[in-house]
Amino acid sequence: MVDIKSLNMEELNEFILSLGEKKFRAKQIYEWMHVKLAGSFDEMSNISVALREKLKSECAYTKLEPVQVLTSAVDGTKKYLFQLSDGNVIESVLMRYHHGNSVCISTQAGCRMGCKFCASTLDGLERNLLPSEMLDEIYSIQRDIGERISNIVLMGSGEPLDNYDNVVKFLELISDENGLNISQRNITLSTCGLVPRIYELADRNMQITLAISLHASNDDTRKELMPVARSYSIEEILKACRYFFEKTGRRLTFEYSLVAGVNDNVEGAEALGSLLKGMNCHVNLIPVNPIKERDYKQSDKKAIERFKGKLEKYGMNVTVRREMGRDINGACGQLRKSYKETVGLAEGER
């Protein structure tokens, strides 16, 4: 079966021609999928029934089904739990800001990176998401709210650079001027630091923002929190980041989840300040969102302010991430995990 929503214009042209159809049909179908956000071939009213039937027999039409939608009473954040055609579930989050609607998408079902504080990785990786599935996280939400999505962050479950080819294809499709045309400048890709992939991404010269999950200012502490630190040192990551900036001119973001007593001391802030000094970057401090499977604690307000102040002394541009949707299992992978646990339980009882 052809995964039709993952095809770019060129590939779709070729496919439609191979069915013995005229090329302009490809443009119509592309528009149905990527602009009008059709939920099925049957919605494509200017395509003949015969061609629709042919498409149905040759193609899989990716359509995510929401199995649960939670809306935060605090800030209007919406969490969607979507079911994929093979029964896997993934989560996506809509955050409403003054500057527009932002969606946080998952790039994999599960994750194999093993970061200690993260709920997405507790059960390992189920599988990579297809470009069409990542697109449909956004399409489904835009359809649901009837408003344009203007910003995307690849910060849901999964490591985007561990699903490199599909993620790059997704980025091309979502920013395509013939599709939803979301500016690459409004897209942030967050990675735990798969160095060779950062170089590859830089060479593609995409105008996206790269966010690096650093979470420590020395390799030993980083290894405690993130197994991936055994493969790549902070120095190697920063070198790749400088290359990314040289190639793209895009300012980098460094994410730093503050865990009480682990990485939130003043010495750490000083070390981070001197590591990043002179780099065109922005530091985003994330008070760790505790998950029940681990006993990591959030740094208190004073520690956060002290950490921030130290970094600012080094001339850093620092923000503290506002917690959104705390009342609805806000942290990465928590909703999916709790859903899987309840469904698993129900099945076990039968």
Please give the positions annotated as active site: 91, 332
Residues that bind ligand SAH (rule: CB under 6 A) add up to a total of 18
Q: 261: which 2 tokens?
A: 């007593």
Stretch that binds ligand SAH, among 74-82, 135-143, 286-294, 305-313 (CB under 6 A): 286-294
Rounded distance between C-alpha atoms, residue 216 and residue 275, angstroms: 11
Nearer to ligand SAH, 6 or 190 (CB): 190
Angstrom distance (rounded) from CA 160 to CA 113: 11
Select 34 or 329, whichever has its Cβ closest to ligand SAH.
Answer: 329
The one among 285, 332, 335, 340 contacting ligand SAH by CB under 6 A: 332
Contacting residue, 102, 257, 263, 329, with ligand SAH by CB under 6 A: 257
Position among 109, 331, 335, 336 found at the interface with ligand SAH (CB under 6 A): 331
| Residues composing the chain | 350
Helices (H) and strands (E) in the chain, counts: 11, 14
| Alpha-carbon span 167 to 196, nearest angstrom | 15
Contact positions with ligand SAH (CB under 6 A) in 187-206: 190-192
Contact with ligand SAH (CB under 6 A) among 213, 217, 248, 329: 213
163: tokens are 């699903």
| Interface with ligand SAH in residues 142-171 (CB under 6 A) | 155, 159
Question: Is residue 289 involved in binding ligand SAH (CB under 6 A)?
Answer: yes
Our finding on whether 182 is near ligand SAH (CB under 6 A) is no
Q: Provide Rg for the chain, Cα atoms.
A: 21
Q: Which amino acid is at 267?
A: E
**296 CB-contact burial (10 Å; exposed 0-12 / middle 13-18 / buried 19+):** middle
Query: Closest by alpha carbon to 257, among 123, 113, 153, 118?
Result: 118
Reduced 3-state DSSP string for 143-158:
HHHCCCEEEEEECCCC
Footprint of ligand SAH on residues 93-132 (CB under 6 A)? 113, 115, 117-118
Which range, of 5-13, 128-136, 283-291, 310-318, touches ligand SAH by CB under 6 A?
283-291
Using alpha carbons, list the distances in angstroms from residue 225 to 118, 123, 157, 257. Answer: 10, 17, 17, 10
- Report the SS3 class of residue 24: helix
* Minimal distance, residue 117 CB to ligand SAH, in Å: 5
Shortest Å distance, C-beta 108 to ligand SAH:
9
Contacts with ligand SAH by CB under 6 A lie at 113, 115, 117-118, 155, 159, 190-192, 213, 255, 257, 286, 288-289, 291, 331-332
